[in-house]
Chain A
Amino acid sequence: MKTNNFRQLWDRAGIFVALLAIVTIFAFINPGFRKPANLSNILQQCTPIGIAAIGMTFVIISGALDLSVGSVMALTACVMVGLIDVVGFYPAFLIAITFGFCLGLINGLIVTKMGVQPFIATLGTLWVYRAFAYIYTQNKPMQSADAGFVCWGENICYVPRLFVVMVLCYLAGYFLLYHTPFGRYVFAVGSNRRAAILSGINVARVNLFVFALVGFFSAMAGAALAVRLWSAKADTALGYELMVIATVVLGGTSLKGGSGTFAGTFGAAILFTVIYNAMDMFQVQSYWQKIALGGILLLALSLDGLRRKYTV
């Protein structure tokens, strides 16, 4: 019984222990790393991937996958920045996240109504949405220096505004997943689809809404990226879907569906950014940086796999 409790605790808090250990070690060794300005940089740098990972956590728990995240980020960010100088920042932002929600809804409709596998459906929309971004912008960068837009990249006493937004997004996601019937349906669909259907859950509707959520959070992430860069371009966030999936998986969500935590995803998003940041601080050669990232992912998952193998 006691070991069981410990295991549960490790499942929930393991990533934070690792994060704390790594941050302590780096802060101890590297004087640049422990500067408050650097720590606040890290909190800001993790936001685009971190926010996109919320939607991805939902979809992976529900047993599916969304590959169109990077494209949705780019397309909605381009639309938003393009509209800022026309209608102002806040309306543009609202339009962009509504648009993202609709793009996700389209993914969901393709999956549920046409019966296309999520992997293939979102692979298709990955290209289509990206192409729309190129067409909309003619591959020219969209820029804006609107004060209401740019100010979101600032800090409130070392805490980046974007990080506050990210925390709020996580709280919203947490509430939705653990304190609503919808959240329970997501777990049910992910762990046993057949049983979910038999117990009367409208699986198609759950799937549809999950994909729409991914679109929504991807649009939020795209907006965060645009705020950081004061601009957007059709080829921003290229390949981010894989970074986002890696973050969710490192956070302990199983690709088989049915299990996962938001706390884990949150910790993993920060952990990845810390590693990236530290590699810059230590002047690790750029060719080696990807090896380190891949290595960490493999290390974490193989430890997890070993543990499962010998304890179940």
Chain B
Amino acid sequence: MRKAGSICNLLIIALVIVSLFFTIGCRKKNEPEKKKKVIGFSVVDMQPNFFQEMEKGVRETCRTMGYDYKFHDQKYDPALMLSGCENLITQGIDASIISPCEPSALGPIVKKTKSRGIPVVIADIGGGGSDYDAIVISDCFNGGVIAAEYMAKMLEKRPNVSKKVGVLKCMPGHVYAVRRGEGFTKRIQELRFEVVSTLCANDVRDQGYRVAQDMMTAHPDINGIFCENDPMALGAVQAVRDAGKSAVDDILVVGFNADAEAIEAIKAGYMAATIQQVPYEMGKKCVELTDQLLQGKPLTFSNPQLREITIPVRLITQENVSEYFPGKY
């Protein structure tokens, strides 16, 4: 009995040692011999598809433009974001691209980085009022406008439509997500629709479901719901379907982000549309801007006051979904 226990213990230890070796063996190899300039990229989290695509954009563009690449994952922890960015600096990067999990904590990082003469480009999320060189974001306001125009066009095809729509909002701290709703609300009102309800569903699916359900109970004649992100939209779709209606033909649900699940739902005909941000292009643009900064070239901003550079978004509907997302996403 005792022997079996000790063998078991030894096995565990062996397993642990092997996994440690694996970990060290898995590091990416960098050859600093050629004295290439190094770009460091710190990302929010490598679990969501969105940031994987962004990382791919940064990595591949670094390679094609002849930069070395160093990477760090913040795992949604502001303290890890700070230490990871500090660690990138000590690894000798020449320029820094940061996609911050917590924009308000960017202050000390940007100060530290820039005090060493290293330019900082922010990728998406927000700049937190820090002294960054440029920030690359999706054109969120315009995304909302596109969604409004699509919804109006689709609803006006129907006879006797009530022209009443609702909006599910993200948490108030998300500056850029808020712009999506602003763009939508402004445009849909210009098109003489009425926004009867604007509620916050805290970014997540189950709350999207609950809030959409409440919205339909309060306004039974509602015809469309715009959601500031896709998880909430998927929740809303479920609520609409549970009420025995269709999220395409009865209550039009439009999301934002083009998450994999939303794409599948659009393909299957459960959900009307979503607005796709193009994270790969965002990552690519960040490296191009960094390149310009390193060569001392001036940048042209979409919004000079906040040093913003916007990347266009596109509407994904059943008509074009298989064109942009052939096969499984």
Contacts and interface: CB of A to CB of B under 8 A. Distances in A.
A284 B78 contact: no
B26 A284 contact: yes
A283 B71 contact: yes
Contacts of B183: none
Interface string A200-231: 00000000000000000000000001001111
Nearest to B85: A280
Contact of A139 (B46, B87, B172): B172
Interface stretch (A124-132, A187-195, A285-293): A285-293
B104 A231 contact: yes
Contact of B87 (A280, A296, A306): A280
Contacts, number: 139
A41 B82 CA distance: 10
Nearest to B12: A302
A241 B71 CA distance: 27
A97 B78 CA distance: 22
A91 to B, nearest CB: 22
Which secondary structure characterizes the binding site on chain A?
A: helix
Contact of B128 (A32, A141, A287): A141
B125 to A, nearest CB: 12
B172 A287 contact: no
B13 A299 contact: yes
A279 interface: yes
Interface string A106-137: 00000000000000000000000000000000
Which secondary structure characterizes the binding site on chain B?
A: helix
A303 interface: yes
B85 to A, nearest CB: 10
A36 B105 CA distance: 24
B295 interface: no
B173 interface: yes
B92 interface: yes
A281 B87 contact: yes
Contact of A280 (B5, B16, B84): B84
Contact of A140 (B27, B28, B90, B173): B173
A281 B90 contact: yes
B93 to A, nearest CB: 10
Contacts of B103: 141
Nearest to B46: A286
Contacts of B88: 280
Nearest to A300: B16
Query: Interface size bucket, B side?
Result: 35 or more
A292 B12 contact: no
A100 B129 CA distance: 30
A48 B22 contact: no
Contact of B16 (A143, A289, A298): A298
A309 B16 CA distance: 20
Given A139-B172, A288-B23, A229 B16 contact: no
Contacts of B46: 286-287
Interface in B14-40: 16-17, 19-20, 22-24, 26-28, 30
Contact of A38 (B28, B76, B79, B90): B90
A151 to B, nearest CB: 12
Contact of A153 (B24, B28, B108): B108
Contacts of B5: 309
A295 B20 contact: yes
Contacts of A48: 79
B90 A143 contact: no
| 7 A-B pairs with the lowest CB-CB distances in the bound complex, closest first | A286-B73, A141-B104, A229-B105, A280-B87, A38-B90, A231-B104, A230-B107
Interface of A: 32-33, 35, 37-38, 41, 45, 48, 138-143, 145, 150, 153, 225, 228-231, 233, 236-238, 273, 276-277, 279-289, 291-292, 295-296, 298-299, 302-303, 305-306, 309
